[in-house]
Each structure stands twice: as structure tokens, then as C-alpha cells.
Structure 1
Amino acid sequence: MHRALWWKDFEFGDGVVTVKKTGARLRLDPGLVGEVLSWFPFYFVVEGWRMRRSSRSGPKIWFAPDRPRPWYLIWSVLHAAGARIAKSESEADAVFFFDDSTISGAVESPASARAINRDCQSIAKSHVGTVFEQCFGYPLNVDPTQFTGELVRKSEANGAHDGQIIQGPCAAEPGFVYQKLIDNSIAGDLVEDLRCPTVGGRIPLVILKRRARSDRFANSNAGVEVVETHTVLSASEQAQLAAFARAMQLDWGGLDVLRDKSDGRLYVVDVNKTDMGPPIAMAMDDKIRVTKRLAAAFLDFLHPSAALEQRTRS
């Protein structure tokens, strides 16, 4: 089993699970219990990869300041790639700066090791909106005191999932960002998010996440579909998203992208440098396929020859 005592990351009390690192609070209800039980089969698949490949000579990755837990996407990708978590920083082939915090401090890394996400120090929603406008040429963030009509209010904090549609103009509250309301609705009274896993600026595939319009800001999905990147993003849009990832200094992560039905434009509404996944609602075969695809992309990002070796071994 995974040797890190990951269950100590949580506090339980009064029917609520609290994530110690971020302070996020989850109601311990049948839905949450069902999601956890649905997650375990994939966890055991990845454990099998880890045990079979732990003795192989894959790249060694050191994580700082935190070590990824099994529900983070990089944990399953790491083991699918045949990579290993380094025992010390000095032996690492790469140093992955892994921190759930919205704003992280600068961290030093050995000159000999590849640095991943070292300089991605802010994923605050206001910063994401500023960088987005610089790269795409049109705004996402709005001034609520000057905006008339429906807008979205969100916490600046990572992983809050507390978006609300409110009416402007209104006073700006500290700790919140205000964004244009994107019409990403599709048939069936659903909304659709484009989760774009990003490795070195490249998007190997896109995960379409669909949920009821009434649950548009929730963290659960009514359906999930994996598609090839070129089927939903043009070449120029992929180039814009790559430029955005570079501007965010994001080497690895997930971009939450919405396409506005009214004008066809893309909007990057969130950046995840410690993204979770694969999504619970995804079929097991798709979870395995997505993880292996991202593992190949991760190895290619670290070293092209290592990626070739991994694909041959698989």
C-alpha cells in the first residue's frame, strides 16, 4: 500500500470532512461516501502499477513542499509512467513543486534537476483573469461596481467551488473575484466544461465534464467524455492556451476552459497546479487510458527518449 498515511490529511467531525491543507469542508453524506467507494477500484489498479514498476529504473521525482496523495492526478500518472518518488532531493531527476496553496512562496531546487511548476506561484482567480486577458486579448474578470447584469462571484482560494451568480452592479467583497458569466450550456439543460490537462504547454487530450445547469459550480459531474484535442480546440486555440500556460509558468496542471455559446470564444476560468483525477464519473477503461496517455506526455516532457522507452514497455 502507499506508505504515506494520507488519511491523516483529513479531520472528521459533526458530519463534515475538513481538508487540513486547504481548509475545504465537505459534508459527509451518502453522495460523498459513494464517490470514495467508486474511487477505490482505480486506486488499486494504480497500486498494482506502482508495485510492479517500483524496481525499474524510471525517472526519480522529488516533491516539495508536499507529497501528492493518491487522489491527485500526478500520483497515478507517475506510477503509470514507471517513475518513482525520490528518497531525497539530491538523487532526483526532477523536482516537482507541489503545493495546494493558492499562493506559494519561492523554493530553491538543485541546479542538476529539472524543475516542474517552481515558478507557478499564484493561481488566485484574479491573477488567472489578468494573465488570461493578456494572452487572449479580451477580459474574463469584471469590476462589479461598474458591471450591469449577471456576473459570477468566486472565492480567490483554490478548490473552494463556491461560485454564485449575482446581479451587478454591486460592492466588491475582499477575498472574492468577479467574472463574466459564460454561457457554456448544451442540450439537456446541462453545462459543459473543457478540462484540459496540460504538460509542458501541450494538451494531450480533453475531458468534457458535464453537469446540470443548476449545479454548474459543483465538483461532481453528471457525465464525462474523453475526446481528442483537435476535435474541440483549433490549432490557434491550442497555441493560445500554450501561451497562457507559459505565462502562468505552469509546467503541469489542468486548465478549466469554457466556450461561450454566444460568441464562440474560450475562457480559462481556473488553473489547477495540483489537479485531482481522473474524474470519479469517468469509466474505468477511460481512467486507465487517460492516465497512460498523460504518463507518456509527462515522460516526453521530462525526456523524449524516456517516453519512447515507456511506450515500448507498455
Structure 2
Amino acid sequence: MLLLKLMKRVALILPEPARTNMRDSVEVGWEIAHLARPGPIALRLALCPRRRILTYPDVPSRYQALYKLCAVNGYRIVKDPEKPHDLAFHFQYQLQPCELPLSKPTVNRGCGDVSKRRVAEVFEEIFGYKLAISPTLFEGLMVEKPNGNHTFDGRVLQGPIKPDDIMPDRVYERHIDTADNEEAVDLRTVIYGQEIPIVYEKRRPKSGGLKDNTFAKIRDPEEVFSSTERSALLAFSEKLQLDYGELDVLRDVNDNRIYVVDVNNTPAGPPKQMSDADIAEALKILSPSFERLLERVEER
């Protein structure tokens, strides 16, 4: 912490842009202090970052995996596309196509549409069975949820429903029963290029909301999914042109099939329900795959 305080004082006498770089690096150090040694991280980011990564048009917050991965690996995040950078991330919370020039090596360049409808279409194409249903014909439990990204207000309905009850901005999918001892289980699956470096098993009360997770732990992808399932998940991600992101995968206890119900190309994490030690371990596991992803994008 003394090094961070010293760097903050040094920043006061530096000219721009060195002053801003130093201040930003100190801020990253403070934010990552519970996971890694903040002084060396801040100093490396300020003086000799291993890479400069543009995130555009949005910037990851301290809650997001990209922020943490860049910090612990010595990558400086650049916010302005006019400033020097080595590669870019199409990082946008809204469902919009990438606006960066084709000349720039860009992660997730083609992954603008991760709407629920698009996810369900690609899922059926790759896996060969359906997630989406016709709400006026389907008999049984169904899920109604917004089509857009970063939404958590889905609800479970009993089908079929009346045509007048259909909402055009919502999608309707079969309800996936993942219950294990009255807990719903989400297999949050990390995708970096053509690798699945880690899976987070997340649990919440069966009666709770989508954000009410009470437990999370690291799982080995090979223990969670068969080789056929892992291949299908990677083929699914490739079809969506998802270089970097996370999939919400549910395994139905009735038919033992897996279903990809959501895709996030600006993921938060690692899960806050884990201890700091486990989050640091997750970042350690993720970093080699993240590095290989960046190398592949730079070679495009």
C-alpha cells in the first residue's frame, strides 16, 4: 500500500499523459488489492504494461472478469480508440454490431447479437433439440424473459397461455429443472476462443430470483461435461462468433441434457459468492487461456 501512496504523490508532478496513466494504475491497484499484490501490479501498468487493450465502446468495471484479468496480467485498459493500443475488445452492453475498423485486431468483433432469440436459434442448430417453445401451444412450465442482454426479470408460467398474453419483447422457453436438494444449479461456462478453461457451479434457492445465488465454486469442465458436450458448446460459441464470454448452461434433471439459456459477452466475475482466495485461483486458471486468445486474435 505504501507503493500505491507514493505513486499517487508522484503522479502530481508528472506531465500528461503520464499523470493520468499513473493515477489510473494506482486506482487499479487499490481495486485488485484483495486478490493480488497491488503495488507491483500498479507499477507495471504505469511503466511497462505487457499489452494495451482498447475496450470499446464501453469500459469494464471492477466487477467484471476482463478488468481483473487485465490487472493481474499487466494489461492496461485503453478507453479512447485514438490512443495507442495493441488490440481491441468489442465490449458493449447493448446488442449492437462492432464499429471498430476492420484493420484493428478485435476480440468479439462478430459477436454483437447475443439476444435470447439468437441464442435459442443457434442452440437448436448445434445441439439438435429445442429450447424455444410456442407459448400458445406448449403444455407445462415455461420461462418468459426479456430478449435483450443484462436482464434478470424472467418469470415461470404455466403453458399454454393466451395469444393476448404474449409480449413481443419477450422470449418463451421451456423451463429447465436443475433442482438439487431444493437448489437451482447454473453451470456458468467460460469460453476463451476454442477453450473452456473453467466452469463455475452456481447455486440459488429454487424459489429465488436469477440473481439470488448463495454459493459458487470452481469446477473442472471435464468433470462437468462429456467430451461431446464440450465440443458442442465450443461449436455453439464459434457459430455466435463469441471469442470471449460466458454461457449459462443448465442440465435438466429429467432428461440429463444440457441447455444454453444465455450468453454474456461482457461477463462479470469470477462469482462474488466465492472467497477471495478462490477468485484469485480462478484468475490464475483463466490467465493462460486468456493469453492464448489474445495471441490468436493478434494473428488474424
Counterparts of 1:150 and 1:50 in 2: how far apart (Å)?
A: 49
Counterparts of 2:119 and 2:291 in 1: how far apart (Å)?
A: 27
Q: Number of paired residues?
A: 267
- Per-residue CA deviations over 1:208-251 (Å, capped at 9, x if unaligned) read 00110001x42131211111110101111111000000111111
Q: Which residue of 2 aligns with 1:81?
A: 73
Residue 65 to residue 270, structure 1, CA distance change in 2 (3 Å): same
**1:295 and 2:287 equivalent?**
yes
Counterparts of 2:33 and 2:101 in 1: how far apart (Å)?
A: 30
Q: Which residue of 2 aligns with 1:62?
A: 54
Q: Which residue of 2 aligns with 1:191?
A: 184
Q: For residue 233 of structure 2, give the secondary structure of its aligned residue in structure 1.
A: helix
- Per-residue CA deviations over 1:60-95 (Å, capped at 9, x if unaligned) read 111111111111111001112221123754632211
**1:220 and 2:212 equivalent?**
yes
Q: Which one of 53, 56, 60 corresponds to residue 44 of structure 2? A: 53
Q: Which residue of 1 aligns with 2:173?
A: 179
Unaligned ranges ≥5, structure 1: 7-39, 307-314
Query: Do the aligned residues in 1 keep the contact of 2:90 with 2:98 (CA within 8 Å)?
Result: no
How far off is 1:59 after superposition?
Answer: 1.8
Query: Do the aligned residues in 1 keep the contact of 2:32 with 2:68 (CA within 8 Å)?
Result: no
Residue 86 to residue 295, structure 1, CA distance change in 2 (3 Å): same
Q: Which one of 87, 96, 121 corresponds to residue 89 of structure 2? A: 96
Query: Do the aligned residues in 2 keep the contact of 1:81 with 1:292 (CA within 8 Å)?
Result: no
Unaligned ranges ≥5, structure 2: 5-22
Q: Which residue of 2 aligns with 1:33?
A: none
Q: For residue 91 of structure 1, give the secondary structure of its aligned residue in structure 2.
A: coil
Counterparts of 1:86 and 1:3 in 2: how far apart (Å)?
A: 10
- Per-residue CA deviations over 1:266-304 (Å, capped at 9, x if unaligned) read 100000001111211111111001112222211111128
Residue 248 to residue 74, structure 1, CA distance change in 2 (3 Å): same
TM-score by length of 2: 0.83
TM-score by length of 1: 0.79
- Per-residue CA deviations over 1:132-186 (Å, capped at 9, x if unaligned) read 1011000001110111111111111212111211011113211100001111111
**1:152 and 2:143 equivalent?**
yes
Q: Which residue of 2 aligns with 1:161?
A: 152
Determine which structure has more spread, i.e. the larger CA radius of gyration: 2
Once the two structures are superposed, the pairs formed by residues 100-115 of structure 1 within 5 Å of their partners are 100-101=93-94, 103-109=95-101, 111=103, 113-115=104-106
